Structure 1
Amino acid sequence: MHAMPSVERPTVAILLPPESRRLVLSEAAEQRLNNVARVHTIAETSLSMSVLRELVGGSSIWLTGWGTPPLADLLTDAPNVKLVGHFAGSIRRLIPEYALSGGLRVTHAAGAISDSVAEFVLAQILMALRHGDAFNTGMKAGQGWELRDRYPGRLLGALTVGIVGAGYVGRAVIRLLRAFHATVLLADPTISEEAARELGVERVPLSELIERCDVVSLHAPLLDATKGMLGTAELSRLRDGALLVNMARSPLVNEQALVAELKRGRIRAILDVFDEEPLPASSPLRQLPNVYLSPHAAGHTQDSHWRQGDLIVDEVERFVRGEPLQFEISAAAMRHMA
Structure 2
Amino acid sequence: MPRPASILQCLTPIEIQEFLPGSSADEIRALAPVLTTVDPTNLSHSAWRDLLFQRNPEVLVACWATPDLPPELPPALRYVCYFAGSIKRLVPREHIELGLIVTNWGNSISRIVAEGALLHVLAGMRNFTHWTIAMHTQGAWKSRTSRSASLFGRRVGIRGFGRVAHELIALLRPFGCTISVFAPDLTPAIAEQNGLRVAFDLNELMRENDVVVELAPLIPETRGSITKAHLELLRPGSVFVNVGRGATVDEQALLEVARGGQIFVGLDVFGEEPLPADSGFRNLPNVSLTPHLAGPTTDRRCDAGAFALKNLRAYAEDRPMESVITLPIYDRST
Superposition TM-score, scaled by structure 1 size: 0.89
- Tell me the residue number matched to 1:66: 64
Letter in 1 for 2:31: V
Letter in 1 for 2:49: R
Distance 1:106 1:284 in 2: 39
Question: Taking structure 1 as reference, are residues 239 and 303 closer, same or farther at Cα in structure 2, changes over 3 Å only?
Answer: same
Match of 1:13 among 8, 30, 36: 8
Match of 1:327 among 319, 323, 329: 323
What RMSD over aligned residues (CA atoms) do the two structures have, in Å?
2.2
Distance 1:118 1:8 in 2: 36
Match of 1:161 among 153, 156, 163: 156
Deviations 1:50-100 (CA, angstroms, capped at 9, x unpaired): 3322443321111222122332x25x2333222111111112222233432
- Tell me the residue number matched to 2:218: 222
- Tell me the residue number matched to 2:303: 307
Q: How far off is 1:106 after superposition?
A: 1.6
Segment of structure 1 superposing worse, 187-196 or 130-139: 130-139
Segment of structure 1 superposing worse, 243-252 or 327-336: 327-336
Superposition TM-score, scaled by structure 2 size: 0.90
Deviations 1:92-143 (CA, angstroms, capped at 9, x unpaired): 2222334323222221113122121111211221132123444555556555
1:36 partner SS: coil
Runs of 4+ in structure 1 deviating by more than 6 angstroms, as ranges, are none
Distance 2:110 2:15 in 1: 19
2:240 partner SS: strand
More helix by share: 1
Q: How far off is 1:315 after superposition?
A: 0.4
Distance 1:260 1:293 in 2: 16
1:329 partner SS: coil
Letter in 2 for 1:318: A
- Tell me the residue number matched to 2:73: 77
Unaligned runs of 5+ in 1: 1-5
- Tell me the residue number matched to 1:3: none
Match of 1:40 among 23, 27, 36: 36
Question: Taking structure 1 as reference, are residues 171 and 337 closer, same or farther at Cα in structure 2, changes over 3 Å only?
Answer: farther
Segment of structure 1 superposing worse, 324-333 or 191-200: 191-200
Asked if 1 retains the 8 angstrom alpha-carbon contact of 2:156 and 2:180, the reply is yes
Identity value in percent: 33
- Tell me the residue number matched to 1:151: 146
Letter in 2 for 1:219: L
Q: How far off is 1:153 after superposition?
A: 2.2
- Tell me the residue number matched to 2:179: 184
Question: Taking structure 1 as reference, are residues 195 and 95 closer, same or farther at Cα in structure 2, changes over 3 Å only?
Answer: farther
Asked if 1:263 is matched to 2:259, the reply is: yes
Match of 2:170 among 159, 175, 198: 175
Match of 1:126 among 115, 122, 147: 122
Segment of structure 1 superposing worse, 314-323 or 191-200: 191-200
Match of 1:203 among 198, 203, 224: 198
Asked if 2 retains the 8 angstrom alpha-carbon contact of 1:63 and 1:86, the reply is yes
Question: Taking structure 1 as reference, are residues 55 and 18 closer, same or farther at Cα in structure 2, changes over 3 Å only?
Answer: farther
Counterpart mapping for 1:88-107 below 5 A: 88-107=84-103
Asked if 1 retains the 8 angstrom alpha-carbon contact of 2:106 and 2:322, the reply is no
Letter in 2 for 1:200: G
Asked if 2 retains the 8 angstrom alpha-carbon contact of 1:164 and 1:219, the reply is yes
Deviations 1:192-246 (CA, angstroms, capped at 9, x unpaired): 3333333332222222111111111111111000000112221122222221101
Asked if 2 retains the 8 angstrom alpha-carbon contact of 1:221 and 1:248, the reply is yes
Question: Taking structure 1 as reference, are residues 29 and 114 closer, same or farther at Cα in structure 2, changes over 3 Å only?
Answer: same
Asked if 1:294 is matched to 2:290, the reply is: yes
Asked if 2 retains the 8 angstrom alpha-carbon contact of 1:263 and 1:288, the reply is yes
Distance 1:138 1:158 in 2: 28
Indicate the structure whose relative CO is greater, using CA pairs within 8 Å and at least 6 residues apart: 2
Number of aligned positions between the proteins = 329
Unaligned runs of 5+ in 2: none
1:92 partner SS: coil
- Tell me the residue number matched to 2:46: 50
